[in-house]
Amino acid sequence: MRPAMRVGASGGIVTIFLAAVGLIGNFTNLNLIGDQVTFAGLMLLIAPLIAGYVVTAPKLESGSLVRVDRGRAAILGAVAGVVAGSVFAAFVVFVDVFGVERIRAIFLNISPALMDFLVGERPVPVAAALLVAIAVAAGIAGAVYRVLPDAIRKPLGSAVWVTLLFGFLQRIVPIALDQLDIERDWLYSKTTRGLTWVGAVVIALVSAGVSVLKDRKGDAIRRAVAGRRSREAEGPKLTPLSFVIALAGLAAVLVAPHVLGSVISEVLGTVMVFALLGLGLNIVVGYAGLLDLGYVFFFTLGAYSLALLTGATLNTFVGSTAPAIALDLNFYVAIPVVVLIAALSGVLIGAPVLRLRGDYLALVTLGLGEMIVVLVTSPWLDPLVGGPNGMRDITNAAIGNFGFRDPKHFYYLAFAFVVLALFVSWRLANSRVGRAWTALREDEQVADAMGVSTTAYKLLAFAMGGAIGSVGGALFAVKIGSLTPASFTVLVSIQVLGIVILGGIGSLPGVLTGTLVLVGLPGLLREFEEYRLLAYGGALVAVMLLRPQGLVPNVRRSRELQEEDREQDKWAGDVAADEHVAAAASPLGESAG
């Protein structure tokens, strides 16, 4: 009972936190489903819900996992909910008694609007009781979700989060449907902006159905694969189904800009640029295991090199002037030069720096990233790169008359580079070079003793990652058409690192997923712009605590990071079965091992 109360109390504090930060008060009008399910309401419920789920976790007792039975689960969930609700209710009562305006002087987001939502016209005790009741319901729901049988749980979970996702994408999906001339008023209400209840139910049913089908199919595939020996995920297994899916995916990616309109294409263009950055950092962090916190260095270098090489001008208060050094190359001629500059810089910087151990390397690279930003903003280099005013008139990478600054066109340009980077990364990962990097990453000293020149390969990874990053910067320059130092901050480094880590270190599909989630979603969900970094930070911590191998993990890295032994035991069980067969068959009849 005690743990349930503690978890509940934490849940209550989390809800207070959400209120204080503004995630409740500012979103009372963000309707997700109909008029009733608002984002504010979701935020109110989410902490007790998770508390209920956490509190009913199976416990390890005398060597086996003891699951919680249904009745007890509901009780635990209720207790957690009650405590969470009471904590939060106490807070609300306190604010009401003390006076909203006085608290607002300090905590800006504890506003009358918030109190209106939480208390409204009701007398305070009633409102408090209501809040507790809601929390109890959420706690029980979370607990119940835990103890549901798998067959119900998975489709239910799918249904809920897919529906909510569509609710969130209320600005994107209707536009896309409009562009494709598909009737959409039954799905998204024109008045509330969010999903209609009808639409919500439909989506829920469809996703539940898909989840059930996927499970059945997944089991069949798994059984078919179980017979094979090789367990390495060196690349996607080309079953006919996955081939079709891949083809469909490719087609979707190729026509996306035309279907989704300019606004979304612009976001997708940014996604592509960051995907490229992610792929570059993936080589440094994911393949070679070097902790690079200063990736913005190459991003900035690439952007400004391209600008200077292709005849951009300095932005001044009265117009523009030529920079101290300016060439007027064609974009496609300049790119290899940019790559070369970045690679050389990578080598020069890397040589003294790359022998440092993990944390120190991280700090040094962070420092380098900061330094270049300071330099680019400084009055000292103003005649070269325009200081705080930046540069403008950057080439639009035109081929003939076809310019690439239009969001729809830029998307394809960036996409081409992403495909190139994917190809290069994939080929390298499964080659002698990739093997050397993996060895270097697993045990640097031993790799050195085995004949792998660790300095050379670290430099190689750093330079290659840097080269790709600088191409990303160059593309970014083309996309925007001008450069302001404000775009180049340490946050870029952290975002790219987040993409690689969240998506799955060393995993190519992971990097792409990470980009979609960390760049695509915030880009599409503009109303959450203010909370982007908060969510980022929270997501990084959560991922490291719960699933360090990322969303779409690389099989090998999961082994490195995952602490669960269950997977290994299961697999070892399969292998032991293999060994019995092999031992019986071997002429010497040796014992296994």
Partner 1 sequence: MTTPLLEVAGVTKRFGGLSALNDLSFDVAEGEIVSIIGPNGAGKSTVFNVITGLYPPDDGDVRLRGETIVGLAPNRITRAGIARTFQTVHLFPNMTVLENAMVGQHCRSTAGVFGSIMRTPRVRKEEETIRERAQACLGFFGSRLAGYRQDQPAFALSYANRRRLEMARALATDPAVVMLDEPTAGMNPRETLELRDHIVRMRDELGLTVLVIEHDMRVVKGVSDRVVACDYGRKIAEGTYDEVANDEQVIEAYLGRRHEELG
Partner 2 sequence: MAGSGAVKTRVQRVGGFATLPWRRIILIILGATIAFVVVVGSYRTLTLPAAERYSGDFWVDQIVNGLGQGAILALIALGYTLVYGILRMINFAHGEVFMAGAFISFFFADAYVKSGFLNSNPYFSLLILFVVSIVGSTVVAVLLERIAYRPLRNAPRLVPLITAIGASLFIQNAFRGFFGPQPYGYPLPDVLAGSVELFGIPVSKVIIMVFVVAIVSMVVLQWFVHRSSTGRSMRAVAEDSEIASLMGIDVDRIVVVTFIVGGVLAGIAGVLFSLTFQQVQFTMGFKPGIAAFTAAVLGGIGSIGGAALGGFVLGLLQAIGPPLLLTGFSIPSPFSIRDAFVFLVLILVLVFRPGGLLGSGEAEKV
Q: Which residues here bind partner 1, judged by CB under 8 A? A: 229-232, 423-424, 427-428, 431-436, 438-439, 442-443, 445-455, 460, 464, 556-557, 559-560, 568, 572, 575, 578, 582, 586, 588, 590, 592-593
> Residue 239 CB, nearest distance to partner 2 (Å)?
34
**Chosen residue from 93, 129, 531, 575 binding partner 2 by CB under 8 A:** 531
Per CB under 8 A, does 426 bind partner 2? no
Residue span binding partner 2 (CB under 8 A) among the ranges 15-23, 115-123, 276-284, 316-324: 15-23
Per CB under 8 A, does 572 bind partner 2? no
> Residue 439 CB, nearest distance to partner 1 (Å)?
5
| Under 8 Å between Cβ of 7 and 80 | yes
Phi, psi (rounded to 5 degrees) for 33: -130, 125
> Residue 592 CB, nearest distance to partner 1 (Å)?
8
Q: In three state form, how does the secondary structure of 308-352 look?
A: HHECCEEEECCEEECCCCCCECCHHHHHHHHHHHHHHHHHHHHHH
> Residue 498 CB, nearest distance to partner 2 (Å)?
8
| Contacted by 116, from partner 2, partner 1, none: CB < 5 to 8 Å by type | none
Give the pairing type, strands 313-316 and 319-321: antiparallel
Residues 443-502 that bind partner 2 (CB under 8 A): 445, 455, 494, 497-498, 501
DSSP notation for 97-141: HH-HHHHHTTSTT--HHHHHHHTTTS-HHHHHHHHHHHHHHHHHH
| Contacted by 527, from partner 1, partner 2, none: CB < 5 to 8 Å by type | none
Whole-Å CA distances, 291 to 8, 280, 453: 37, 13, 19
| Under 8 Å between Cβ of 7 and 49 | no
| Contacted by 419, from partner 2, partner 1, none: CB < 5 to 8 Å by type | none
Question: What's the first-to-final CA gap in the chain, in angstroms?
Answer: 47
Closest CA to 543 of 576, 578, 510: 510
DSSP notation for 196-215: -HHHHHHHHHHHHHHHHHHH
For residue 3, the 8-state DSSP code is H
Per CB under 8 A, does 186 bind partner 2? no
| Contacted by 393, from partner 2, partner 1, none: CB < 5 to 8 Å by type | none
- Residue 8 has which token pair? 């509940």
| Contacted by 451, from partner 1, partner 2, none: CB < 5 to 8 Å by type | partner 1
**Chosen residue from 126, 247, 348, 577 binding partner 2 by CB under 8 A:** 348
> Residue 358 CB, nearest distance to partner 2 (Å)?
5
| Contacted by 215, from partner 2, partner 1, none: CB < 5 to 8 Å by type | none
- Residue 535 has which token pair? 């969510």
**Chosen residue from 220, 534, 576, 582 binding partner 2 by CB under 8 A:** 534
Per CB under 8 A, does 551 bind partner 2? no
- Residue 103 has which token pair? 């608290």
Give the Cβ contact number of residue 551 at 10 Å. Answer: 17
Phi, psi (rounded to 5 degrees) for 354: -75, -10
Interface residues toward partner 2, by CB under 8 A: 17, 20-23, 106-109, 285, 289, 291, 293, 348, 351-353, 355-360, 362-364, 366-368, 370-371, 374-375, 377-380, 445, 455, 494, 497-498, 501, 505, 530-531, 533-534, 536-541, 544-545, 548, 560-561
